[in-house]
Amino acid sequence: MNKFFYLDKLNDKQKKAVETLNGPVLVLAGAGTGKTRVLTTRLAHLINKGLAKPWEILAVTFTNKAANEMKERVQSLLKIDIERMWIGTFHSSGLKILRKYAEKCFLKKDFTVIDTDDQERLVKQILEANKIDIKKHTPSNILSMIQWFKDKAILPSESKKYKFRFGKSVDISKLYIEYQDRLKILNATDFGDLLLLPVKIFQENSEILKEYQNQFKYILVDEYQDTDTCQDTFLKLLSKKNKNICCVGDDDQAIYSWRGADVKNILDFPDAFSNVEIIRLEQNYRSTDHILAAASKLIENNKDRLGKTLWTDTLNGEKLKLFYFEDGKDEAKNVSLEIEKLKLKNTKLDEIAILVRASFQTRLFEDRLLKIGIPYRVIGGYRFYERLEIRDAIAYFRVVQKNNDDLALERIYNTPKRGIGTATLQKIFKFARDSGMTLLDASKKIVETDELTPNARDNIKQFIENINSWKSKINKINHIELAKIVLEESGYTKMWLNDKSIEAPGRLENLKELISALRDFSNMNEFLEHISLVMENERNYKIDMVNIMTMHAAKGLEFENVFLAGWDEGLFPHQKSLEEKGTKALEEERRLAYVGITRGKKNVVISFAKRRFIHGTWNFSQPSRFLSELPQENIISNENLFQEEESFIVDQDEYEDNLKNPNRLLFKNKKILENSESYESEYKFKIGDEIFHEKYGYGVIKYIVDDKYEIVFDKLSKTKIVLENFIKHA
């Protein structure tokens, strides 16, 4: 048998990537080009040729799943014991080193790696000791800044020069130093230390660095475009002597800057090492010719890239479909109809995916699929109505709407924190059980006794007054306005506004989308009944399901049929990202579009809506600028989207102006604005009419959409959507 039989299954470029064994190698592996096969085959080839023993190779990945897959493939190729091989995640490799040389960081070898909950408790103690308001500066916010330092390979002693502060009083560097000192006392590390401390050991102990440089004759790296500064420093220190480092990645799929990844690591690799061999894997084994042509043409608009062009032998595939819908509901309805057609053709639901830019977008698709009885799963997150902030909000609505919902009241009693501690709650629960009362009635009674502290009684009284106030409004205002008032006056929305964690903006978007969902129901009871049915249906689904996820969560996955929804300018590319990071963000958003398109194997459908109800406001949208960058010869559309007078091409000269005035992007096309007039003929009011609203005062009708009016009120900074029966002529 041929000793190198595994080479026979590789194409020419893959074979070159496997056989180029000496010196620094950068393998630019496009989507679906077989990078995992190349990586594992290269590892096996090094051992099989006798260039290195299994333990003399360091192979690092980002997930345990990828590491285990690599181990299994190598074992199947060589039939050897892989136990001594250094194949694992960055952090597992760092942990091995740190266990051996813990004392260099003033730790014992049996140190503990604490989890997020323990981290937050520790930071909370430090904040309280420094008399810092933990409501204003939450432990999770402080931890995110500390992690930023660690991702950048910045030690506590070096952090002072960055002068990061929250307000005048909160010095992040000082807190970082205190946090690390407390970890040492506890003989503990956190997850970020598992790479930061080995880097520190290497930088301060040349003999230890030399030991590992001598051990690892070869280094292999997977998904190199996703590395942060600390990970990159770790790799460069270890490879400095032998320079036999092979990094496999795709600069066109660098989409994780928000969690610390730096695309510059892969872009600057040719400059970091001399005599770098760059090998491009461009033959794609996943997608059809039209899909690859469209993706390649799109990504060519990015300037910061090393460059490659995907191609395939799979010719005569279907063109990408581009659908233009009236609104978000229409989009969800028609995408679902397309899915039903696929199902009738015996397409497995598992091979169908709906990809969106932001998690709040999933709600309309979830509701529609539930309505027509098609099972689905949300990958990389919870179903919309399962999300923590949605469950909390619904619990508030249940408490207001019903008199005896103890479970709902228990959930939100001290959320957000309102000075009602665990001991107080236990007394209230016991009082309710002993007296046979509902939790709300028991709360009203117990505040009349001396069982609680004066402060606790005052806090509970205030909470009860709020609930009574909300209940009194049930028949006076519509359920949408009531929901907004409840979330605002309870402090729940403010809680997430003040939260600086990476999840907070998404949670706020979801809360706004929940308010939007209420528009589909005539009252709150009808909505709550719908939620009950949703939760019940979720428990009855079978294995085969449609996949719904964000494009970020889709990286590394593939499906025969992909629906890319919500390609509206301002939504995708995301306006907030552009405002915060400018051109860099635009390029990352384009890479995200590239990732989305290349998830599809056979069919890709892209859609956008003329108008979309987002966070309580109707937005009249333009198609995403990315659509004008797709080659027309690879697309079929239900509308002519590329007429010169209506095309959405934003050149770089316009860019800064667009950022300063987002409405210029959203309302550039006057024809779309004029279309709104078609909605007014059957209504009591017309666009431009002056009106009066009892709560918001005087205003002017801006748009008429469905059965609602969008109004500019004199005393408000934002427009409001209101029903006809709540306004009158001024």
Please indicate whether residue 398 is annotated as part of the active site: no
List 14, 33, 35, 42, catalytic entry: 35
List 398, 599, 610, 720, catalytic entry: 599
Residue with the two structure tokens 């260039």: 51
Q: Strands 690-693 and 727-729, how do they pair?
A: antiparallel
User: In DSSP terms, which residues pair with 621 in a beta bridge?
Assistant: none
Of 551, 575, 567, 671, nearest to 627 by C-alpha is 567
Distance set, CA 698 to CA 176, 468, 513, 713 (Å): 51, 29, 27, 6
List 20, 36, 125, 575, catalytic entry: 36
List 223, 232, 327, 587, catalytic entry: 223
How far apart CA 185 and CA 594 sit, in angstroms, is: 47
Q: What are phi and psi of 12, to 5 degrees?
A: -60, -45
Residue with the two structure tokens 């099972």: 375
How far apart CA 402 and CA 272 sit, in angstroms, is: 65
The contacts of residue 27 (CB under 8 Å, 6+ apart) are 17, 35, 38, 246, 247, 248, 249, 279, 281
User: In DSSP terms, which residues pair with 241 in a beta bridge?
Assistant: none
Of 237, 261, 234, 233, nearest to 249 by C-alpha is 261
SS3 124: helix
Asked if 593 and 298 touch (Cβ cutoff 8 Å), the reply is: yes
The contacts of residue 540 (CB under 8 Å, 6+ apart) are none
Provide the CB-side half-sphere exposure for 31 (13 A, CA): 29
Of 486, 485, 490, 483, nearest to 516 by C-alpha is 483
Paired tokens of 227: 């590395």
SS3 192: coil
Please indicate whether residue 253 is annotated as part of the active site: yes
Tell me if the bond preceding 573 is cis, omega within 30° of 0. yes
List 222, 513, 587, 588, catalytic entry: 222
Paired tokens of 494: 């403010």
Cα angle, residue 271 at apex, residues 267 and 275 outer, rounded to 5°:
115
How far apart CA 68 and CA 54 sit, in angstroms, is: 15
Q: What is the residue type of 667?
A: F
Please indicate whether residue 222 is annotated as part of the active site: yes
Asked if 236 and 202 touch (Cβ cutoff 8 Å), the reply is: no
Q: Strands 708-713 and 720-723, how do they pair?
A: antiparallel
List 227, 253, 362, 493, catalytic entry: 253
Query: Which alpha helices (H) appear in 268-374, and where do they start and end?
Result: 269-272, 289-299, 328-344, 362-372
SS3 690: strand
User: In DSSP terms, which residues pair with 25 in a beta bridge?
Assistant: 246, 277
Please indicate whether residue 223 is annotated as part of the active site: yes
Positive or negative, the CA dihedral 37, 38, 42, 43 is: negative
SS (H, E, C) 568-627: ECECCCEHHHHHHHHHHHHHHHHHHHHHHHCCEEEEEEEEEECEEEECCEEEECCECHHH
What DSSP character marks residue 296?
H
Of 311, 307, 257, nearest to 287 by C-alpha is 311
Q: What is the residue type of 5?
A: F
Paired tokens of 702: 């801006």
Q: Which residues are catalytic?
A: 35-36, 222-223, 253, 599
